[in-house]
Structure 1
Amino acid sequence: MVDLPRISNNGRTHTRLEKLSPRDAACNPLSILQNCKQTKGRPAFIAGPMVRYSKLPFRELVRNFNTDIVYTPMILAREFVRNDIARLSDFTTNNADRPVIVQVGCNNATDLLRFVDMIHPYVDGIGLNCGCPIKEQVKEGIGAALMSEPDLVADMVKVVKQKYGSSVVLETKIRIHSDINETLRFAKKVEASGVDFITVHGRTKNTRSSQPANHDAIKLVKENVSVPVVANGDCYSLEDAYRIAEYTGVDGVMAVRGILANPALFAGFDKTPWMAVEIFLHLAASYGLPFRITQHHLSEMLDKIIPRKVLKEMNEKTNLIDLIDWLDATFYVKREGEEGYATDVSPPWKKRKIIDIKY
């Protein structure tokens, strides 16, 4: 018997004691990375962690569109292990939420091990964030601050792997250093400590997102470690994913901003198809996603497929009821169970006179 931090079932959440069934071996991230490369002849397609936005409804959405592995938002270990309210608010899952990797922000082995103790039965992998450049996180000694603490990261990895071995898949997500040799030393040290795979964001903690990711650096990391490597940075299309994988030789490609804007990216759509909007609306309502998060997702998804003045109208709505009424007045929005639900690619306009764009 184990204590469930929080489990959601068809939109309902509760805390209870339950005997868990083992995780499906087919959802093991290492198996997926290997199977995609060896059997499917392609990199694994991965939706990366997003602060506030890679919650359960979005994770379920992208699985409809050829995404192999999905991450949760980063959870702060020190809050999660000490505060029941944090556990209730930060982590929600269900039996369909597989494969899923939970990302954790932590700066000491004690909190990390306690976090893993609590959460590992409910996830397929745990990712240690060593790359978040947000100043507040860096000041707390987590995220990108850990890039200057290779011994600490190695110790954290070692503690978890010594206790759990292969029963827990542990990943580290890193950024590169200005001196690539420092990055290689970091990656090798973490690998020697037992990490299962490494995700490399091809920017330093000070590199602006508008600057191109350094795929040469990612390639060098891949060539210098034996564990699987995932590339992160500048994946905005399926073509990008294949191009990055071919150039770097990595085992998987992670999209973050790209998949936030287009959840169907890995299915080959160059813009968000309307079917994704309808699926997301159903999931957001079913799971009770907060209004502002729902609105932001829709704003990101619709940005490239409707005119700015129409998008502005939607973003001016202040509650979910008004937002849904606006969508119904502007588009033919189908609900789950209705004929044609989640089949349209282009937006089904009602106000066609304001639109003259090609999808």
Structure 2
Amino acid sequence: MPRTDLMQLFSTRTRPLNVCAPMVRYSKLPFRELVRRYNTDIVYTPMILANVFSASNFARDCEFSTNRQDDPVVIQFAASNGVDLANAAELAAPFVSGIDINCGCPQKWAIHEKLGSHLMSDPETVRDMIRMTKARVNVPCSIKIRIHKDLRETEEFVKRALSVGVDFITVHGRTKKMKSTEPVSLEGMKFVKEVSTVPVLANGDVFTMEDANRIVAATGVDGTMSARGILENPALYAGYEITPWECIEDYVDLALSYGTNAFIFHHHLMYMFERTMSNAERRTFNSLSSVPSIVDYLEENYGLDISKKRGERAIRASVL
């Protein structure tokens, strides 16, 4: 089925775009549908290993599911070479609005496998990945990068990607060695925007709409991408300071409807309740280990009523 044209979305936007980042385990289909209800324009899948995705039908079924409402969605692949990436991209392209190359994951296992932020020191491989992928698919191809300590290296990296037609860039405003507790470099993100001839998204330290607006004002980027912030508050881009109860209800409804496993279901809710539960209540909630026990707890302590929620959703659908 036709998917949203991302490049048209960039060119016709009337405000900075709001984007949900790729998050290992967490940006699955129910969460993607949730954040779209709260003013998120583009949503990414979790990072997926390209070689495994292209080699195994079982892996494809486990790692990526979608539907008509899951649009626009960008699938993010981690790869160490152009062949693996292009093979995976060709399989995914009919079902997504874009293909993204992970050049930013700082985890040691990824660097050891020459994935993620390892690629920030190998711009030629990234150049080949973009070139080979664009030759095989007809959807935009983007990269998610970090900055270098020496921004001249970042400029060279970006220019090589531009030379083979990268369609847009997301820049995480930290080097691969910086901790997440260190503030992002607004100067670095602004620099990437200035040297790019394609749209640029800024990632890092987006926890509120105030943060997003401040970053856009300081850097001139075309939008912001949130990971930790939107995980804690999926209604972030709708202007909420903390996760509203309605959003939590929506997530429970979606997660149960799609059959989310207990680990992910529990952890999403732990993040959403992080700033509203007392320490004692959090200890009790965090000890729950099954979906039924979590639902029972929310019914008894928060008045969760999924039947009512689904009835309201059915009424809205009938009106539309």
| Superposition TM-score, scaled by structure 1 size | 0.85
Task: After superposition, give the CA deviation of every residue in 1:180-200 in whole Å (9 maximum; x if it has no partner).
Answer: 110111011101111000100
Task: After superposition, give the CA deviation of every residue in 1:217-255 in whole Å (9 maximum; x if it has no partner).
Answer: 010111111111100011110111111111100011000
Q: Distance in 2 between matches of 1:81 and 1:340?
A: 40
Letter of the 2:113 counterpart: E
Pairs within 5 Å for 1:68-87: 68-87=41-60
Counterpart for residue 177 of structure 2: 206
Counterpart for residue 88 of structure 2: 115
Counterpart for residue 249 of structure 2: 278
Which shifted more, 291-300 or 309-318? 309-318
Counterpart for residue 11 of structure 2: 34
Task: After superposition, give the CA deviation of every residue in 1:263-310 in whole Å (9 maximum; x if it has no partner).
Answer: 000000000000000000000000011101000000000111121211
**Greater C-alpha radius of gyration:** 1
Q: 3-state SS of the aligned residue for 2:243?
A: coil
- What is the CA distance between 1:162 and its match in structure 2? 2.9
Alignment partner of 1:309 is 2:280? yes
Could you list the runs of 5+ residues in structure 2 that have no partner in the other structure?
314-320
Task: Provide closer, same or farther for how the CA distance between residues 106 and 138 of structure 1 changes in structure 2, counting only shifts above 3 A.
Answer: same
Counterpart for residue 230 of structure 2: 259
Pairs within 5 Å for 1:144-223: 144-164=117-137, 167-223=138-194
Q: 3-state SS of the aligned residue for 1:132?
A: coil
Task: Provide closer, same or farther for how the CA distance between residues 291 and 174 of structure 1 changes in structure 2, counting only shifts above 3 A.
Answer: same
Pairs within 5 Å for 1:206-245: 206-245=177-216
Q: Distance in 1 between matches of 2:293 and 2:172?
A: 39
Letter of the 1:239 counterpart: E
- What is the CA distance between 1:131 and its match in structure 2? 0.3
Task: After superposition, give the CA deviation of every residue in 1:113-153 in whole Å (9 maximum; x if it has no partner).
Answer: 11111110000001000000011011000100100110110
- What is the CA distance between 1:34 and its match in structure 2? 2.3
Q: Is the 8 A contact 1:50 1:74 kept in 2?
A: yes
Q: Distance in 1 between matches of 2:92 and 2:305?
A: 37
Letter of the 1:102 counterpart: I
Q: Distance in 2 between matches of 1:33 and 1:253?
A: 12
- What is the CA distance between 1:56 and its match in structure 2? 0.3
Q: Is the 8 A contact 1:334 1:340 kept in 2?
A: no
Q: Distance in 2 between matches of 1:108 and 1:183?
A: 20
Letter of the 1:227 counterpart: V
- What is the CA distance between 1:48 and its match in structure 2? 0.4
Matched residue pairs, number? 313
Counterpart for residue 125 of structure 1: 98
Letter of the 1:32 counterpart: L
Q: Distance in 2 between matches of 1:336 and 1:220?
A: 51
Q: Distance in 2 between matches of 1:223 and 1:296?
A: 38
Alignment partner of 1:141 is 2:114? yes
Q: Distance in 1 between matches of 2:269 and 2:299?
A: 14
Q: 2:22 aligns with which of 49, 62, 67?
A: 49
Q: 3-state SS of the aligned residue for 1:173?
A: strand
RMSD: 1.4
Letter of the 2:2 counterpart: P
Task: Provide closer, same or farther for how the CA distance between residues 253 and 338 of structure 1 changes in structure 2, counting only shifts above 3 A.
Answer: closer
Q: 3-state SS of the aligned residue for 2:47?
A: strand
Q: 3-state SS of the aligned residue for 2:285?
A: helix
Pairs within 5 Å for 1:312-331: 312-331=283-302
Letter of the 2:41 counterpart: D
Q: 1:103 aligns with which of 73, 76, 82?
A: 76
- What is the CA distance between 1:334 and its match in structure 2? 2.4
Q: 3-state SS of the aligned residue for 1:174?
A: strand
Counterpart for residue 356 of structure 1: none
Q: Distance in 1 between matches of 2:2 and 2:312?
A: 34
Alignment partner of 1:287 is 2:264? no
Larger helix proportion of the pair: 2
Could you list the runs of 5+ residues in structure 1 that have no partner in the other structure?
1-20, 343-359
Q: Is the 8 A contact 2:253 2:309 kept in 1?
A: no
Counterpart for residue 2 of structure 2: 22
